[in-house]
Amino acid sequence: MNIVLVEPHFPKNQREFARALAEAGANVIGIGETPLDYLDDQLTSWMVHYEQVGSVTDRAQMTDAVRRVQGMVWVDRMESTIESHQMVAAQVREDLGIPGTSVRTTWLCRDKPSMKEALRAAGVPTARSTGADDAAQVWDFAAAVGYPLILKPRDAAGAADTVRVGSDTELSAALERMGRYSSIAVEEFIEGHEGFYDTVSVDGRIELDFASHYFPGVLEGMRSRWISPQFVATNRIDDGGLYDEIRAMGHRVNEALGIGTSATHMEWFHGPRGLTFSEIGCRPPGVGCWDLYCAANDMDVYAAWAQSVVHGEVRERPSRSHSAGIVALRPDRDGVISGYSGLEDVENRYGRWIIDAHVPVAGTGTQPVEAGFMANAWIRMRHPDFDVLRDMLDDVGRTVHVYAR
């Protein structure tokens, strides 16, 4: 099987998709923005060919590159694992007759209002929402639904430029800040605990799944410097209750959005209104989630994904032996890192449960709070008991301090 992989070099874990496809028996053809002579020997060893383009989000450039590949070999599939690359990849697939996720499915997973409309039509509870091309439409929605509301760019990924507003004054200020966007998604704020559900599906059937929890919710965690936010993958997903509801909803999502053979990332809330689904990504999750799943389940999730693509089945199975999580450690201010405290204490108490850590050296420039879980320092841990792991991650967040000047 000849598989085109979009951008195998960046970000760092993209190489794992190339590795897994090669180990599953595929001929991997990379298309990326990095010059070939910059790629390391290990990465190039997993590919039979590489094409450089100026931009993997330029439809014309990508079409020309894939056509060059098709002039050499039959292309069985074209895979893209990064949100911002997916629409062009889907368009090229359809233009050149390559199987894979359709433009329609990609659009529904990128355009928030259209996504939620399709989910509601399939009986998947979700927040009331609309797409707005001007401020008047936003004000009309606010008058009809009330506050609080969530505003974000219509095709944004994750929590990028997302804002919660609770009054006319806050809405007016938010609209002024978001004036550079031609269209925004507006939805009612759903109260409840927030998490996500990640899968690998084959022909629409969920063959492998994981459930994770945010502490606290994303908006709060990505806006408050004093918080050391975390997300934790549970090993209790087979215990029924809420997780059975999430799984049933996940099957409905696949049907509603036309998801076939793909990884998915589904955000959910559970609160006074029960279980509701939020954003759906027809792609793997970001911020190293799969690495946590690998460590928690004694398996190679990248290999499982590659098996689904190459062989139409998932042979890897999760042990559910551990829960695993990450805690983000924020500098006390923006600037450059000057030092740490508490790292030795944490190592002494929890060393056996630490998977890995990222501790930038003094002099490293800081990243803004809203840049995400892995933007500055972080520690990843695992433990057989979910509640014990939660306590450990909380303790790490209280103990470790990152200083900047």
Tell me which CATH code domain 2-100 carries.
3.40.50.20
Longest dimension (CA), the chain: 60
Q: What is the pLDDT of residue 250?
A: 97
The pLDDT, as a whole number, for residue 162 is 85
pLDDT confidence of residue 238: 97
For the stretch 141-177, pLDDT in tens is 999 999 999 998 876 655 567 899 999 999 999 998 8
State the pLDDT confidence band at 241, using cuts at 50, 70 and 90. very high
Q: Distance between CA atoms of 399 and 344, rounded to whole angstroms?
A: 10
Angle among Cα 206, 207, 209 to the nearest 5 degrees reads 75
Instruction: Write the single-letter amino acid at 390.
Output: R
Q: Which CATH fold topology does 193-404 show?
A: D-amino Acid Aminotransferase; Chain A, domain 1 (3.30.470)
Tokens of 391: 């306590």
**Per-residue model confidence (pLDDT) at position 159:** 58
pLDDT band for 363, please (50, 70, 90 cuts): very high
Fold matches, 128-188 and 193-404: no
pLDDT at 311 over 90: yes
For residue 228, pLDDT beyond 60:
yes
Paired tokens of 403: 């200083």
Q: CA–CA separation, 267 vs 279, rounded Å? A: 5
The C-alpha atoms of residue 358 and residue 375 are separated, in whole angstroms, by 10
The whole-angstrom separation of Cα 74 and Cα 70 is 6
From edge to edge, which strands make up the β-sheet containing 163-165? 129-132, 184-188, 149-153, 163-165
Residue 132 is which amino acid?
Answer: A
What is the residue whose two structure tokens read 């001007």?
A: 134
Give the length of the chain: 405
Q: What is the share, in percent, of the chain residues with pLDDT greater than 90?
A: 88
**Residues 355 and 326 sit within 8 Å (Cβ to Cβ):** no
* Mean pLDDT (whole number) for 347-353: 97
Distance CA 122, CA 248 (A): 12
Domain coordinates of the chain in residue numbers? Answer: 2-100, 128-188, 193-404
The helix (run of H) or strand (run of E) holding residue 197 is: strand 193-202
Look at residue 155 in the predicted model and tell me its pLDDT: 67
pLDDT band at 113 (very low <50, low <70, confident <90, very high): confident
CATH number, span 128-188:
3.30.1490.20
Sole residue written with tokens 């850590």: 357
Q: CB–CB of 325/387 below 8 Å?
A: no
The answer to whether residues 309 and 77 touch, using CB atoms and an 8 Å cutoff, is yes
Q: What is the Cα–Cα distance from 56 to 63, expressed in whole angstroms?
A: 10
Give the pLDDT of residue 166: 94
- Burial code (b: 16+ CB inside 10 Å, e: under 16) for 186-212 equals bbbbbeeebbbbbbbbbeeebbbbbbb
Q: Please state the pTM of the whole predicted model.
A: 0.92
For residues 132 and 188, the answer to whether their CB atoms sit within 8 Å is: no
Residue with tokens 């290999």: 303
